[in-house]
Amino acid sequence: MNETGANETSKYLLEARNITKVFGELRANDDVTLSLKPGEIHALLGENGAGKSTLVKIIYGSLRATSGHLFWRGRAVTVPNPAAARELGIGMVFQHFSLFDALTVTQNISLALPSDVDIGALSGRIETVSNDYGLPLRPDALVADLSVGERQRIEIVRCLLQEPRLLIMDEPTAVLTPQEADQLFVTLARLASEGCGVLYISHRLEEVRRICHDATILRHGKLAARVDPQQETAASLATLMVGTEVAAVRTDKGTAPGAPLLELSSLSLATDDQFGVSLKNINLAVRAGEIVAVAGVAGNGQGEFFDALSGELTSSNNATVKIAGVGCGREGITQRRRRDAAFVPEERLGHGAVPNFPLSENVVLTHHSVEATRLETGDGMAGSAVVRNGMIDRDAARYVNRVVTELFDVRKGTPDPEAQSLSGGNLQKFVVGREMALQPRVLVVNQPTWGVDAGAAALIRQALIDLARGGSAVLVISQDLDEIFEVADRIAVISRGEMSQAYPSEELSLERIGLLMAGAHEAVARNAGEAGAA
Amino acid sequence: MILVLEKRSRRSQAMVWLSPVLALGITVVIGGFIFASLGLDPFKALYIYFIDPMTSLWSIEELIVKAAPLVMIGVGLAICYTANVWNIGAEGQLTMGALFGSAIPIYFTDWQSPLVLVLMLVLGAIGGALFAAIPALLKNRFGANEILTSLMLVYVAQLILDWVIRGPWKDPKGFNFPQSVSFEGWQLLPLLGEGRVHLGAVLALIAAVLLWVMMGRSLRGFEIRVIGNSPRAGAFSGFAQKKVVLFCFMLSGALAGLAGICEVAGPSGQLQPVISPGYGFTAIIVAFLGRLNPIGVIFAGILLAISYLGGEAAQVELGISDKMAQVFQGMLLFLILACETLIHYRIKLAPGRGAVKEA
Amino acid sequence: MGALEAVILTIITASTPLLLAAIGELVTERSGVLNLGVEGMMIMGAVCGFAAAYTTHSALLGVGAGLLAGVGMSLLFAILTQTLMTSQVATGLSLTLLGLGLSGMIGEGFTGLPGIKLEALNIPFLSDIPFIGPVIFGHDILVYGSLFIVAGVAYVLFRTRLGLIITAVGGNHHSAHALGYNVLRVRYGCIAFGGACSGLAGAYLSLAYTPQWIENMSSGRGWIALALVVFSTWLPKRLLVGAYLFGTVWIMGLYVQALGVDIPSQLLSSLPYLVTIVALIIISGNKTLTKVNTPACIGQPFAPER
């Protein structure tokens, strides 16, 4: 490299030049370049599937690029595996933690460090460093007993113990309450002031504008833009990420809501899973024509709550769950579907759909015990029952598949492919559409747009709103506060298995929701009461 | 350079049909090598093993006699394995079915009527089903591993048979041999034609076709496939996993029991300490070779019956141990599993681990 | 030799093959792999051990041959399940079927031949002490070996980094891979260790227990060993206790008959199998015990990205 070249690159901590990564027929990264200075918090933005995770895995050595170069502090390097990355001084906090539930904090961290680290001294160091950076941890706690936020701390402290020069964080605030996120930002600012670089992956634009100095935007695997986020608005960043203007969701508040179609009274459910969350005394009502959202950080009982609503978990008391005024707490999911209720679970593959079944067979999954599909296509044809006399009518199932594909713009290679071959967004559209095809009076959705591209997310949210405006009751469980504020009429918060009351969405601020997530229900109720009385 | 597996974007339809054929081909080739190493002409040995059994009417009849229980048990196991329910105890269920069914001619030796045969067959199926219900209930209630419990019960069933045949059910006029009275008249399965082919073959065929329809078209078959693929999706669909477990075990147990009483009331003609040459275990291989499809199981059963016959013929003509058939069968299953990988992955040459590649 | 002495000795000899096979499978399962082929590996160890011992007139060489046979079979299993990602349950079953058939074929020439016995280590002085001598000091190397292996496994699993890595790989193989550990290599090693132990168990049967080769002489011990691992909730200490309990049940039949009680011999022979079922019911029904120690990834194939 000539002298100019050396000068050009030396001010950067990390440079990834012309990185390309190909998986089979998919170009996850296509000639991407990114550069980052010491002490800089650099955002890596992009939609789901844009290639952010792939790029950082290459930087961290978990994947090897098909072509391209990496430069660390001015020198060309190869990073064959994560251990090499750590030796260079690169630390990474993944979105999905690499933790072992059955082991302690110290054991987990020791596995991530080189084998010559003294385990005895490690516990002490963990305690010191974690407290120092405002992320306290008990070294001999079993990971299985910790909350999601605490588990993230283990991941961060693990990196900090190796005194990194670059910390990569993949969607860190997805699992944090607003207050926990604030604490994280303080920690990151401290790291940056010490000269450590931070590569911050996120799709949360307000956050990025708040803390990041620089941003690289990826779109469909390619480099779309390089901007200063503080000079941009959230809308302009979104446009750069998606490429076209994303239509805002129409949230015309229609007529006043009608009678309650879904009522939960004193719903309690003890869990026999030692890693599960018990539900305690939940009261909630969703009326015809409205959308009620249940906000909450992952791991507070959303899964159990969904199962209690869908009927996968039944209660001994029939009155705890009522659909259209009729108690059905003891009934299973098929009977609840017969009462015109429909459900969309969090996990598309393996729960909402069978991965290696074709879409038409996945239709049978929830349509088998209800009468004819009531959606009609433009040519006026109505569907017939998918199962008659215990035998499956494949044509009827295919018909539903066609209708759903058309109405929900499901994009796929062939008319009836395996569910797992669809992209996340398209599969989610199919699953939501399949339930909408039952024309339910009550719809319960868990994480409607998790891992879904912006276009599909907008379509799904609009469909939820349209369903509600048509007179159905919709309950949305979500970790995405932006989404909740976009669609919900009323918002409740679930925390450690307990539910707050549902407040009209205008009355709740981000700060209040944060308090509710932390379980301070009474404090917020008092505040709201005072505000109302004032 | 190393061989790596690259996941295909879609399951290879060609390989779904080709992989069992490929496995069979490799087994034959390896068999040829084994014969050669034993100092035999590999082609002659392979001919005796695989082609000869199909050349005479007599041997085709023997083929059917051996294939019938394999197919009958195999289709039941195919359903089980589709649901991810691991019934390894078919041999024990076969034994209990034989026992239950034999009770009629043993206790009512002189009763002759078409009803006797029907009752024997029904009791055989019930015996197998009840015995198979044990591991199912233990799994549902206690979470006990069904592979181990169903297998332990095989040993128990064989010991029960042994006790019964040397004790209370021994033929008093049998010169103290461990065997029951010989069955006569309606206590024996009717024969088809001149040879030893009996009604069991027809029953096996009917069972295969019925189950094929069930799996392909009915909601019950759909339920089984969903539970086997994604139990959570099954729960979401309103299917109860425990009911499916019990159903699959009892179905396969009934079929195994039926096969058992057919063996006793057919080729054997009486209850003896050894009823089957391991049909319950060979049926496991039949189920896999048939790719867990009832129609495929028919062909797989015939194929494995050929290997049994071939083994006997080879022992007589070439002096090869009759255990060779078992070795063939074990190898075949191994290779079937290995070749199945090709459905989901393709084999490629790739550079070894190391540096980031330059453009 | 007194009656009590004789009883203790037979319990020890009956328990040793169970212990050997089970401790090997425990390590395999700890790394997240379920190998149902224990019976097949054991019987191959028995026949190869006998064949080698007979041809070389050395029981020790026979033991070595048994160990290698077990390792060889287990590597076949490893290649299929780890590299080719086949179903572990189906592959393990086929390993057993293959082992039973192959051992029958190999063993045909050795049936009925006089056995080569693995001699007891007659430690001078110590083994001459009445009662304690034969009971504690009068065993062959495989008996002592089994106890040594159990102690060694316990030490490695709970006090060394290797043990931590094995537990991590079995608990969450994705996390282990993300941290840079070679999941496949760890599993290959644990599978081979399991194979070696099963092979030793088989060699013990044909060289020490009944110094002879009899077809299918393992009689389902391999399956009982699998149940033992579940029963022990993957803890070596519990495994030791369990193995000796089962060993006692195994030979109980002989003693009950000797006492002149009129029970059909078949019922006594069925005791080990019935007790196994009962043990599985007891331990599996206790959810807290099993959940905590179960290697969470057991039976799941691991497919790394490239």
pLDDT confidence of residue A534 = 38
Top CATH class of A260-533 equals: alpha beta
Tokens for B40?
A: 């035999």
Determine the Cα–Cα distance for residues B197 and B190; give it in Å rounded to an integer.
Answer: 9
A82 neighbors A61 (Cβ within 8 angstroms)? yes
> What residues in C contact A62, CB-CB < 8 Å?
178, 305
Task: Answer whether residue C1 shows pLDDT above 70.
Answer: no
Measured CA to CA in angstroms, residue B141 lies from B80, B243, C144 at distances of 19, 12, 40
Cβ–Cβ gap C180/A97 under 8 Å: no
Q: CB atoms < 10 A from the CB of A281, how many?
A: 12
Do the chains contact at B160 and C266, CB–CB below 8 Å? yes
Cα B118 from chain centre? 23
* Fold observed for domain C3-293: ABC transporter involved in vitamin B12 uptake, BtuC (1.10.3470)
DSSP state of B47: I
* Contact check, Cβ <8 Å, C303/B7: yes
Chain C residues within 8 Å of chain B (Cβ atoms): 36, 76, 80, 83-87, 89-91, 93-95, 97-102, 104-105, 108, 220, 223, 226-227, 230, 264, 266-267, 269-270, 273-274, 276-277, 280-281, 284-285, 287, 290, 303, 306
Which residue in C has a C-alpha nearest to residue A83's C-alpha?
Answer: C180
Work out the minimum CA distance from B344 to partner chain A, whole angstroms.
Answer: 11
| The 3-state secondary structure of A407-460, one letter per residue | HHCCCCCCCCCEHHHCCHHHHHHHHHHHHHCCCCCEEEEECCCCCCCHHHHHHH
C-alpha distances out from residue B13 to B19, B159, B342, C86, Å? 10, 46, 11, 18
In this complex, the residue of B149, B323, B330 whose CB is nearest that of residue C280 is B149
Do B266 and B347 belong together in one domain? no
Cα A159 to Cα A85: distance, rounded to the nearest angstrom: 11
Q: Note whether A115 contacts C: Cβ–Cβ < 8 A.
A: yes
The series of mean pLDDT values per 10 residues for chain A, 534 residues long, is 44 90 85 92 85 90 90 91 88 87 91 80 90 88 86 91 92 82 91 93 84 90 89 80 64 75 91 78 93 88 93 90 92 92 94 94 91 56 75 90 91 89 90 92 94 86 93 92 88 89 85 72 55 43
Residue A520 confidence (pLDDT): 59
C3 Cβ contact partners less than 8 Å away, ≥ 6 residues apart: none
Name the residue of chain C whose CA is nearest to B322's CA. C105
Nearest residue in C to B353, CA atom: C306
Which run of H or E residues covers position B56? none
Distance CA B133, CA B151 (A): 13
Tell me, rounded to whole angstroms, the distance of Cα B11 from its chain centroid: 27
Q: Is B333 part of any domain?
A: no
Contact C36 B149 (CB under 8 A): no
pLDDT score at A375: 56
The closest CB to that of A80, out of B229, B353, B359, belongs to B353
Strand B345-350 relative to strand A503-504: parallel, antiparallel, unpaired?
unpaired
Handedness of CA B285, B290, B296, B299 (dihedral sign): negative
B45 found inside a domain: no
Q: At what angle do helices C161-171 and A105-112 cross, to 10 degrees?
A: 100
The token duo for A2 is 């000539």
- Are the C-beta atoms of residues C20 and C200 closer than 8 Å to each other? yes
The amino acid present at B148, given as its one-letter code, is: L
Q: What angle do CA C278, C279, C284 make, to 5 degrees?
A: 105
At residue A247, the pLDDT reads 57
HEC secondary structure over A59-77: HHCCCCCCEEEEEECCEEE
Secondary structure of residue A504 in the 3-state scheme: strand
d(CA B327, CA B30): 11
Which of chain C's residues have a Cβ under 8 Å away from the Cβ of B148?
223, 226-227, 230, 276-277, 280
Two tokens, residue A289: 């024509």
DSSP-derived secondary structure letter, B267: I
Neighbours of A259 (CB within 10 A): 12
- Asked if C276 and B152 come within 8 Å (Cβ–Cβ), the reply is yes
Contact C171 A112 (CB under 8 A): no
Q: Is C102 close to B141, i.e. CB distance below 8 A? A: no
Residue C158: C-alpha distances to residues B31, C30, C152, C165, C173 (Å): 46, 12, 10, 10, 19
Tokens read off for A362: 């996945």
Cβ distance of C305 and A63 shorter than 8 Å: yes
Which three-class secondary structure state does DSSP give residue A41? strand
On whether residue B334 sits in a domain, the answer given is no
What does DSSP say about strands A222-227 and A67-72: parallel, antiparallel, or unpaired? Answer: unpaired
Structure tokens at C238: 């519990």
Chain B CB contacts of C270 under 8 Å are 155-156, 159-160
A260-269 and A75-77 beta bridge pairing: unpaired
pLDDT at A372: 63
* Residue B15, domain extent: 1-37+341-352
**Whether A398 contacts A386, CB under 8 Å:** no
Looking at residue C217, what is its pLDDT? 93
Q: What is the pLDDT of residue B184?
A: 79
Handedness of CA B341, B344, B347, B349 (dihedral sign): negative
Q: Are residues B157 and B298 in the same domain?
A: yes
Minimal Cβ distance to C284: which of B144, B323, B328: B144
Contact criterion met (CB below 8 Å) for C49 and C66? yes
Q: Angle at CA C149, nearest 5°, toward C143 and C153?
A: 155
- Taking the CA of residue C49 and the nearest CA in chain B, the distance in Å comes to 19
The beta strands (E) that lie in A129-278 are given as: 166-170, 197-202, 214-219, 222-227, 260-269
pTM of the model: 0.86
In a domain, B47, yes or no: no
Closest CA to B338 of C299, C82, C33: C82
A chain contacts of residue C292, beta-carbon cutoff 8 Å: 102, 274
Closest Cβ opposite residue C102 in set B7, B152, B330:
B330
CB contacts, 8 Å: A97 with chain C: 175
- In the predicted model, what is the mean pLDDT of residues C80-90? 90
Q: What pLDDT does A9 receive? A: 47
Q: Are strands A67-72 and A490-495 parallel, antiparallel or unpaired?
A: unpaired
Each residue's pLDDT tens digit, B307-333: 888 888 888 888 777 788 888 888 888
Q: In this structure, is residue B119 part of a structural domain?
A: yes
Residue type, A372: A
Instruction: Please say whether the dihedral angle defined by the alpha carbons of residues C61, C62, C67 and C73, taken in this order, is positive or negative.
Output: positive
Cβ atoms of residues B25 and B336 within 8 Å:
no
Nearest CA of chain C to the CA of A107: how many Å? 8
Distance CA C256, CA B159 (A): 18
CATH of domain A3-242: 3.40.50.300
Domain ranges within chain C, ordered by starting residue:
3-293
**pLDDT digits 0-9 by tens, C251-270:** 887 777 777 777 888 888 89
For residue A68, the chain B residues in CB contact (below 8 A) are 356, 359
Check residue A435 and give its pLDDT.
94
Please state, in angstroms and rounded to a whole number, the distance separating the CA atoms of residues C224 and C275: 10
Instruction: Tell me the chain A residues in contact with residue C174 when contact means C-beta distances shorter than 8 Å.
Output: 96, 98
> Residue C294's pLDDT is what?
83
Q: What is the ipTM of this complex?
A: 0.86
B20 domain residue, yes or no: yes
Please choose, from the candidates C181, C187, C178, C185, the residue with its C-alpha nearest in 3D space to the C-alpha of residue C305. Answer: C178
Tell me, yes or no, whether B335 lies in a domain.
Answer: no
B338 near C CB under 8 A: yes
Phi/psi-derived region of residue A356, left when phi > 0, alpha when psi is between -120 and 50, beta in every other case: alpha
The total number of residues shown for chain A amounts to 534
The pLDDT of residue A2 is 38
Domains of chain A by residue range: 3-242, 260-533
Q: Do the chains contact at A102 and C292, CB–CB below 8 Å?
A: yes
Tell me the one-letter amino acid at B249.
F
Give the C-alpha distances (Å, rounded to integers) separating C191 from A75, C35, C116, C176, C195.
42, 8, 29, 18, 6
Contacts of C238 by beta carbon, 8 Å cutoff, 6+ apart = C231, C232
Chains that touch C (3 or more CB pairs under 8 A): A, B
Let me know: does A98 contact C178? Beta carbons within 8 Å: yes
Beta strands at A490-495 and A498-499: parallel, antiparallel or unpaired = antiparallel
Q: Examine the domain organization and report whether B139 and B32 are in the same domain.
A: no
Q: Which of A81, A343, A354 to mutate to test the interface with B (most CBs of B within 10 A)?
A: A354
Q: Do B218 and A25 touch (CB under 8 A)?
A: no
User: What confidence tens digit (pLDDT) does each residue in C35-47 have?
Assistant: 999 999 999 999 9
Q: Which of C87, C97, C277 sits opposite B149 (nearest CB)?
A: C277
Closest CA of chain B from A244, distance in Å: 29
Pairs of residues, one from chain B and one from chain C, whose beta carbons lie less than 8 Å apart: 132
CATH number at residue B122: 1.10.3470
With a cut of 50, list the residues of chain B below it in pLDDT. 354-359
Q: Which residue has the higher pLDDT, A292 or C122?
A: A292
Angle, CA of B167, B169 and B173, to the nearest 5°: 95
Max intra-chain CA distance, chain B: 88
Query: Would you tell me how many other CB atoms lie within 10 Å of the CB of residue C182?
Result: 15
Q: Which residues of A touch C176 (CB under 8 A)?
A: 98, 100, 111
Query: Residues C170-204: pLDDT tens digits?
Result: 999 988 987 878 999 999 999 999 999 999 999 99
B163 close to C (CB below 8 A): yes
The answer to whether A424 faces chain B, any CB pair under 8 Å, is no
For every residue of chain C, which 3-state class applies, written as one string?
A: CCHHHHHHHHHHHHHHHHHHHHHHHHHHHHCCCCCCCHHHHHHHHHHHHHHHHHHHCCHHHHHHHHHHHHHHHHHHHHHHHHHCCCCHHHHHHHHHHHHHHHHHHHHHHHCCCCCCCCCCCCCCCHHHCCCHHHHHHCCCHHHHHHHHHHHHHHHHHHHCHHHHHHHHHHHCHHHHHHCCCCHHHHHHHHHHHHHHHHHHHHHHHHHHHCCCCCCCCCCCHHHHHHHHHHHCCCCHHHHHHHHHHHHHHHHHHHHHHHCCCCCCHHHHHHHHHHHHHHHHHHHHHCHHHHHHHCCCCCCCCCCCCC
Amino acid in the structure at residue C4: L
Looking at chain A, which subunits does it touch, using at least 3 CB pairs closer than 8 Å as the criterion?
B, C
pLDDT at C64: 95
Q: A100 and C171 in contact by Cβ < 8 A?
A: yes
Q: Are residues B174 and B252 in the same domain?
A: yes
Chain B residues closer than 8 Å to A18 by CB: 359
SS (H, E, C) A321-389: EEECCEECCCCCHHHHHHCCEEEECCCCECCCECCCCEHHHHHHHHHCCCCCCCCECCCCCECCCCEEC
Range with the poorest average pLDDT among A390-399, B52-61, C60-69, C76-85: B52-61
Across the interface, do B357 and A64 touch by the CB < 8 Å criterion? yes
